[in-house]
Amino acid sequence: MKKYILDLTVRTVERISPKHVLIRLTDDKPLPEMVPGQFVEVRVDGSATTFLRRPISINFVDREQNELWLMVAMVGDGTRRLGELKAGDKLNCVLPLGNGFLFQSDRIALHKALLVGGGVGVAPLLYLGAQMKEQGMEPTFLLGARTASDLLMLDEFKKYGRVCVTTEDGSEGEKGFVTNHSLLQQEHFDMIYTCGPTPMMKAVARYAKEKDIECEASLENLMACGLGACLCCVEKTTEGNLCVCKDGPVFNIKKLLWQN
């Protein structure tokens, strides 16, 4: 898939939680081909402490509106700057990067998929779920957060499948972590996709292994280049050190050396 450096135009910046914004970007030309699970390296201007680009998951691609959506958690000065963007501002993006989730093969497409996300890690699952629905699948989303106000874009997720929720304080959905949700005991899934905090993904991977379910996890190791050139973001795998930016960010959990 061809990669581009584009100055995209900010259409809207919407506050979707106290700590998160949704940035909708557009361009004069049709946006490049992108697949769920890929990411964008954005340049952050005007932040003295932000030297490198920031990798941000592709949250959604709206072809009708020619929009690329990025969900940003404002954790440091650089991401706070992104949250301060205004309509009409330019955002320099290198995209699309990484491999994406595997879901289009006939073998998998027929099956029942569970998409498990936590925190800002829910971001790539929206586009994945939307693409699955477009191909006739019915994804189930299992989304976790600390508290109700941290649950992100639930109404959007509901457009593409059933949504189950957990919060650590019980303020919405079932109380506890995603892996405690009753759904996991009641139903069988053939494929699990997960993105979120590493402890959560490891717990999901443990569940998938116990039940012998295929599982893909999207990692977010610290990156510099995003292109597989600097070898900074490596993850230990059955094939040695692989770049999360180029060989990932999505890995089948069988390839990862996570200790369970």
Positions touching other proteins (CB under 8 A) are: 2-5, 43, 48-53, 94, 221-236, 240-241, 246
In the complex, the smallest distance separating the C-beta of residue 33 from other proteins, rounded to whole angstroms, is 13
CA-wise closest residue to 100 among 252, 256, 254? 252
User: Which string of DSSP letters, residue by residue, matches the chain?
Assistant: ---EEEEEEEEEEEE-SSSEEEEEEE-SSPPPP--TT-EEEE---S-TT--S-EEEEEEEEETTTTEEEEEEE--SHHHHHHHT--TT-EEEEEEEES------SHHHHTS-EEEEEEGGGGHHHHHHHHHHHHTT---EEEEEESSGGG---HHHHHTTSEEEEEETTSSSSEES-GGG-THHHH---SEEEEES-HHHHHHHHHHHHHTT-EEEEE-----SSSSSSS--SEEEETTEEEETTTT-SEEEGGGB----
In the complex, the smallest distance separating the C-beta of residue 70 from other proteins, rounded to whole angstroms, is 19
Q: Toward other proteins, which CB reaches closer, 181 or 246? A: 246
In the complex, the smallest distance separating the C-beta of residue 181 from other proteins, rounded to whole angstroms, is 30
In the complex, the smallest distance separating the C-beta of residue 24 from other proteins, rounded to whole angstroms, is 24
In the complex, the smallest distance separating the C-beta of residue 46 from other proteins, rounded to whole angstroms, is 14
In the complex, the smallest distance separating the C-beta of residue 84 from other proteins, rounded to whole angstroms, is 20
Q: Toward other proteins, which CB reaches closer, 147 or 241? A: 241
Q: Toward other proteins, which CB reaches closer, 144 or 226? A: 226
Q: Toward other proteins, which CB reaches closer, 94 or 205? A: 94
Q: Toward other proteins, which CB reaches closer, 72 or 233? A: 233
Q: Toward other proteins, which CB reaches closer, 83 or 228? A: 228
d(CA 135, CA 138): 9
